[in-house]
Amino acid sequence: MDHLPLPPGRKEHLRVGFFARRSVYKPGEFFILPQQQVHCEIRSLLQSGLPRHIDAQSANEFLQSWLFFGLLAQVLHQDINANNFIDPKPRTIHTRRLPDILEEWSKRQNAIISSIDANDDSMSHYSTQWLIASKALDIAKRFISQHDFIQPLSHRWPREKSFITPSPIAASCVIVDEKMIFSIAILGEALEQRRREVYMNLRHGSQYIEHTIGQNYVAWSYSSILRDEMLKRGWCLAQIARLESTCRLSAVYFLYSLKNMNVPSYVHGQCTSTNCKAALAQRGPLHRRCDGNCDQFYLQVQDGEVETWIKRGLTPLVTWDSEAGLVVKPYKLSTMSVKFGALSHSWDEGLIAFGNDARGSNNRMMHACQIMSLQRTFDEFAKQDSKSSDISGNQNNVKIPFWVDILCMPRSNEAKAIAINQLKEIYSLAKHVVVWDRGLLQAGKSVDLINICSRIKLGDWYRRLWALQETIVAKPRTLCFEIQDGSIVRLDDLVSVFHNAQIDPASAYHYCWEAISAISPEVLRQRQLVHEDLAACAEEAVRNLWCAIRHRLVGHAEDETIVIANILGLDVSHLQVNETPHLGIPADIIFLPQGKQKLSGCQWAPRSWLDKGRWASPISFRPSRNVQTAYIMKSGLLVSFFGFSIQLPSQRHPSSPGPQQIKFKLRLLTTAVKWFALVLEPEDCSESTMQRPLGGDNHLYLILSCEPKVR
């Protein structure tokens, strides 16, 4: 793992024993090593694992020879000298030279590609070589993922069933060295990443190469070593599962040593892989830039006038002045040219909320130090903006108004429904949006950008669904993060850090760039789509949002509909018309690029995009021989998957005598564990009728969700 940056707090990398006996491994030997060393065919190894007669030492030697050095030689199509990967004392394996080896291979590939004519025989030879390497990678990944002793976390597994204690690989009774398996998975991820980067430079499109690339982010392996260490450091089991499902193992390795920044470790004792049950009450409000002696100094806004303004379509904003105190005024944001700020935070972190009133509702009080801190922050922004635009600064010390939910959000259901529908407008029109995250506010006075990126990724704010909306709709260069000493870090600066790591092979973080991606690429792309021309790229927006929203947390299930509709530019006001079911609003809703589907007699799916599946893709249309995903019945089209684009095939299967037997297939990943069924019932079941609502080229996108109610 030496080619990766040293995990924070670690003095050295995990050391992996060197078991291989041979010195040189050649291309092509990957496919014959199983027969030579363990007398098994590759097919048998994939189906049954290692043979029973093999001992631990022989198993470790074979797997490292076959899946590390043999795989590396096959994929790079060059001889690999194992001695170049040995640390003599102790006798362990190192990968310090791996980035240089991959860079040299990449340059050779680019030179070959630039000299190849698309119609030349050399292109066919190159494609064949590429496909053989792809097959080797696929075999290695299948063996590791199918027969590794560490399984993905699942809500179906009780916590009592330990995922830490390893078990034998398949038929063999041998427990192989887990660190060695871990090193194979890390190598496989690095090879896949560089191959994808080389393919992006391929000038001549080749269908034989194209289908071996894609976003193939299925996990190579999981590590009980990392899981065990993360639990000891206070990680939540649900957070571990989320990290494993959204990052490659290389990124998890870099992040695993970070202590949990939010709560002490003991509060996660009852958490499961899908639900964090931490005792949030132990996290009190966080004082800002004060000595902590303002506990008895609270400020609040009266409910009555706020509700009146909101019902009139106005938005309350607050200011703080040492003489006037806390002042709240209404604004018509869509027509008034007002410069204001907004605060984004996770309600569950308890950064602001102080307690409950007599009715059990939040008392809507804030510490004075928090309000003063926000006022200073937004006033400072105004001064900086004035200087950068060569306009005289805030000469009269005009206070910049700002919006914060705990003060400006009403509590009655009727007014709250209107206010929730205003959130998109508030965060999209705010001059500056400041994020408060507990992990950042307690990070210390001197933290670098890498540390900030990692803390954001692991923080509660990042996981909240409402924070996703606020991040996406906020205008470019307005979103920023505050750290402990009150200084501000802009999102653009953080994006530059991990974007440079992603595209620069010389970066120390190149092979684990997901670990420092403060905001995922899908969210950044969605921001770009929203602020450019969402209508012109509606199909991409739906697909991209499906990827961006996974593993987010939301307190009310019906909020998912509101957030996704807002991000996709749809008006959600019609979802607030009633509280009772069966009044014309379907329990689950489909949004199409052209608008809402109006066919009657439809049952909508899926119920949620906040799934726990791993790396399922909604944009893969390649047929699979093993997976039946949909077929036409007399009652309509039955679809047994979720979050995917449906397209009726243009031609009927030759053996199908009627439309009710027409079948089509879609490639799915077997790790998607949550399934929903969709039945479309048109007026009749003829093929022409089915073609009409679905269209020959029209894609039907499934979105969500639960009963909207008054939200």
pLDDT digits (tens, 9 = 90+) for 415-456: 887 888 889 899 999 999 999 998 888 876 667 888 888 889
Closest among 126, 137, 25, 114 to 78, alpha carbons compared: 25
Which amino acid makes up residue 346?
A: S
Which amino acid makes up residue 257?
A: S
pLDDT digits (tens, 9 = 90+) for 493-552: 999 998 999 888 899 999 999 888 888 888 998 998 888 776 667 667 777 787 788 778
pLDDT digits (tens, 9 = 90+) for 579-637: 333 333 333 333 333 333 343 433 333 446 665 443 333 333 233 334 444 444 444 44
pLDDT at residue number 379? 92
Q: Measure the CA–CA gap between 613 and 274, rounded to whole angstroms.
A: 11
Q: Measure the CA–CA gap between 138 and 126, rounded to whole angstroms.
A: 18
pLDDT at residue number 459? 85
pLDDT at residue number 490? 92
Low-confidence ranges of the chain (pLDDT < 70): 116-122, 147-174, 201-219, 259-267, 274, 278-285, 289-301, 353-362, 388-397, 444-446, 534-536, 538-539, 557-558, 570-711
Query: For residue 224, with 0-12 CB atoms within 10 Å meaning exposed, 13-18 middle and 19 or more buried, which class applies?
Result: middle
| DSSP code for 356 | B
pLDDT at residue number 669? 28
Question: pTM of the prediction?
Answer: 0.74
Only one residue has tokens 């009780």, namely 158
Question: Per this entry, what is the length of the chain?
Answer: 711
Q: Is the dihedral of CA 46, 47, 51, 57 positive or negative?
A: positive
Note the maximum CA span of the chain: 86
Cα distances (angstroms) measured from residue 325 to each of 73, 320, 375, 399, 545: 71, 5, 12, 12, 42
